[in-house]
Amino acid sequence: MSRIYSIILSFGAFIVALDQWTKHIAMGHFVQPGDTTPFLPWWSWTLVHNFGAAFGSFRGLPESVRSIFLLLMPMSVLGMLWWFYVRKYPRTAVIGPLAMGLVLGGAIGNLIDRMRFGYVVDFVDWFYPSSGGCLPGFYKFTPGTCHWPVFNVADSAIFVAVFLLIGESFFVKETPPSKKP
């Protein structure tokens, strides 16, 4: 079991370090929320203080409820993931522990922000030009553009982890336990 935990902790620590480093750079580069620097025609660096959960959800809750919810939710999710998945991984598993490391690092990276600032620092802004409506998940921010909610490295790690876990469930076959004669 120690091999699995070392994979999880290694990837988790890497994501926390990368997440906090990139947020430090973003906060040093921008003066206030809303400041933006174009990077590519469909990508900008834009500082956002996210007081809600994923995609800004739950930001309308009263502060006392939101604070408790947003601090307890990541810890509860990590506990449930450990209980239902991690402790059952076979010794040779790689994809699942890697995904769990990404989730752990992403959750801790955003939790550090919540504890330090009271919000999560987001800065990656993806968008596309549109004269009509936006695709699902995107929203109109400025006339003529549809934006994905601004995100960070921690959010990206969790997103990648979800797809790894989905892929693992479809493509990795469990080997049945061998029968002893």
pLDDT tens digits, residue range 54-90? Answer: 656 666 666 667 667 777 777 787 788 777 777 777 7
pLDDT at 175: 57
Lowest-pLDDT choice from 51-55, 108-112, 131-135: 51-55
What is the per-residue pLDDT across 86-127, written as a single tens digit (0 to 9) for each? 777 777 788 888 999 999 999 999 999 988 998 999 999 999
Burial class from Cβ neighbours inside 10 Å (0-12, 13-18, 19+) for residue 139 reads middle
What is the domain partition of the chain in residue ranges?
2-30+51-121+154-171
Reported confidence tier of residue 181, pLDDT bands at 50, 70, 90: low
Backbone phi and psi for residue 97, each to the nearest 5 degrees, phi listed first = -60, -35
Is there a contact between 104 and 8 (Cβ–Cβ < 8 Å)? yes
Which residues are catalytic, by number?
122, 155
pLDDT at 169: 79
In sequence order, the 6+-apart residues with CB closer than 8 A to the CB of 20 are 109, 112
